[in-house]
Amino acid sequence: MPTRLPLLICLVSGVVMFLQYFSRHPVAKLIYQTVTNDWWQVIFAFTLIVGVASFIKITLRKISQKKDKTYSLIALGGLILMPVLALIGGTNIESPFQWAFENLLAPMQATVFSLLAFFVASASFRGFRARSIPAAILLGTALLVLIGRLPIAEHISESIPDLTFWIKNYPSMAARRAILIGIGLGSMTTALRVILGIERTYLSGK
Amino acid sequence: MDIGVIIAGILTLAIYTFLYKDNPIYRAAESLLIGLAMGYVLVIYWQTAFMDRIFSPLLNESDWWVLIPLILGLLMFSRFSRKYSWLSRIPIALMIGAGAGVAIPAMLYARTLKQISASVMPLITESGGFNFEALVVIVGLLSTLTYFYFSREHKGIIGKVAKLGTYFLMLFFGATFGYTVMSRMSTFIGRIDFLLSDFLHIIK
């Protein structure tokens, strides 16, 4: 029962969702919209709650063990703050919740995102070496694109920005499409394995 | 100055202290970010999933069908019980199964057929000219696919074509790297602009 029932549900839901693609009947459309728009969202919301509950449990354990107590308290405070602000003033554009998003969350997220510029630059400085033809192509293309996207590129040569766009639109696009085709074929195979119950990693491999 | 700008500026600087080394100020800001992000997503999902998709249809429209996802969602809480934790596999199986069912035709259409059709372009144009770009795309696509073809050893003609495929892949990785760095740089410039103009008022 613990394994067979989920496998059966997976098979039935997979086959139904696969078959609805080939039907234009309103019922098929309704099934697709209900499952993907409503059911998925609701189940995902519950999985999120389970995740948050697990996070709270771990954080409280850390606090009681006095391990990273300050940071755990800050994280917990942040987690409580947003729902409290939403309860107090709602979530409209002028609410405290939105204020916290714009002045606390969004700036920090953007800053962490921008930190990657330094890590990528330092990693590439250490790792990029033109030891072989493929490595030289990689290095050359990266430099060309970096220069080509700068305003100074037009002053060096007017053809640099055009060349950058040409690389992006043709040879780079060709390789990208080949990768996408590979992903598509791989995804289809994996999906088929999941529906047929061959791939069971979501059941803890049972 | 707006209190929000002051707080945003301080938090931005707190995150940037990591560029020197890992330190308590950065870790405190990082912890706050994790907590706030989780709280924000929780509120958004409370509104979009629970209020809009369960409580509102159930209380206002008496739509009893919403009890199905509600019960399936509640089964997720069985993970906290050792004896009944297997029940949480039911909603997961439904999501994964339905996702797999949707993915097969979607992947076949968008990731495979569409990509092939977009790559096959006429080599001779209407004016009788040769379309060099079309040749580059088709050669690049076929050689890269050959590189990922592992059913035969990469020797002889297959080896040479696969090697050409690696050159196209390197072009792709190089270009992707360049564009990624530039996007991160533009975000960094945005943050520095915020610090120098809004927060410190050095730039007017």
Q: What are phi and psi of A49, to 5 degrees?
A: -65, -40
| C-alpha R_g of chain B | 27
Look-up: residue for tokens 């519950």?
A: A46
A 153-172: CB under 8 A from B = 164, 166-172
pLDDT in tens, A127-157: 778 889 999 999 999 999 999 988 888 888 8
Pairs of CB atoms within 8 A across A/B: 389
For residues A39 and A30, give the distance between their C-alpha atoms in angstroms, rounded to a whole number.
12
> Does residue B119 sit at the A interface (CB-CB below 8 Å)?
yes
Q: Is the pLDDT of residue A182 over 70?
A: yes
pLDDT in tens, A68-117: 899 999 999 999 999 999 999 988 998 999 999 999 999 999 999 999 88
| Residue A99 burial (10 A CB sphere; 0-12, 13-18, 19+) | middle
How large a percentage of chain B has pLDDT more than 90? 78
Q: Is the pLDDT of residue B1 over 80?
A: no
pLDDT given at position A125: 81
Contacts of A114 in chain B (CB under 8 A): 184, 187-188, 190-191
Best B10, B16, B170 residue to mutate vs chain A (most A CBs within 10 Å): B170
pLDDT in tens, B184-196: 999 999 999 999 9
Nearest-10 Cα torsion for B195, B198, B200, B202: 100
A 130-149: CB under 8 A from B = 133-135, 137-146, 148-149
pLDDT given at position A187: 95
Q: How far is B187 from chain A (nearest CA, A)?
A: 5
**B96·A202 Cβ contact <8 A:** yes
Q: Is the pLDDT of residue A204 over 80?
A: no
Beta strands in chain A (DSSP E): none
Higher pLDDT, A96 or B204: A96
Please give the helix or strand (H or E) that residue A78 lies within, else none.
helix A69-89
| Residue B163 burial (10 A CB sphere; 0-12, 13-18, 19+) | middle
Instruction: Find out whether A13 and B97 touch, Cβ atoms under 8 Å.
Output: yes
User: What's the rounded mean pLDDT across residues B78-94?
Assistant: 91
pLDDT given at position B176: 94
Reading the block at residue B36, the tokens are: 């706030």
Query: What's the pLDDT band for B127 if we cut at 50, 70, 90?
Result: confident
How large a percentage of chain A has pLDDT more than 90? 73
| Mean per-residue pLDDT of chain B | 93
> Does residue A184 sit at the B interface (CB-CB below 8 Å)?
yes
For residues B181 and B200, give the distance between their C-alpha atoms in angstroms, rounded to a whole number.
26
The answer for residues whose C-beta is within 8 angstroms of residue B173's C-beta and 6 or more apart is: A138, A141
| Residue B151 burial (10 A CB sphere; 0-12, 13-18, 19+) | exposed
AA letter at B72: L
pLDDT given at position A203: 83
Instruction: Find out whether B43 and A82 touch, Cβ atoms under 8 Å.
Output: yes
For residues A194 and B107, give the distance between their C-alpha atoms in angstroms, rounded to a whole number.
15
Query: What's the pLDDT band for A205 if we cut at 50, 70, 90?
Result: low
Identify which of A102, A67, A113 has the alpha carbon closest to the alpha carbon of residue B190.
Answer: A113
Question: In angstroms, what CA-CA distances link A101 with A80, B8, B37?
Answer: 14, 10, 9
Q: How far is B93 from chain A (nearest CA, A)?
A: 5
Contacts of B43 in chain A (CB under 8 A): 82-83, 86, 91, 97
pLDDT given at position B47: 93
Contacts of A182 in chain B (CB under 8 A): 145, 148
Contacts of A57 in chain B (CB under 8 A): none
pLDDT in tens, B24-63: 999 999 999 999 999 999 999 999 999 999 999 999 988 8
Nearest-10 Cα torsion for A129, A122, B185, B181: 40
**B184·A168 Cβ contact <8 A:** no
Q: What are phi and psi of B124, to 5 degrees?
A: -110, 130
Reading the block at residue B53, the tokens are: 């998709």
Question: In angstroms, what CA-CA distances link A175 with A130, B111, B145, B163?
Answer: 21, 13, 8, 13
Question: In angstroms, what CA-CA distances link B29 with A72, B102, B179?
Answer: 11, 40, 28
Q: What are phi and psi of A19, to 5 degrees?
A: -70, -35
**A21·B33 Cβ contact <8 A:** no
Residue in chain A lying closest to B173 (CA): A138
User: What's the rounded mean pLDDT across residues B163-184?
Assistant: 94
Reading the block at residue A176, the tokens are: 């990208």
**ipTM at complex level:** 0.86
Query: What's the pLDDT band for A206 if we cut at 50, 70, 90?
Result: low
AA letter at B34: I
**A144·B66 Cβ contact <8 A:** no
Which 8-state DSSP code applies to residue B112?
A: I
| Mean per-residue pLDDT of chain A | 92
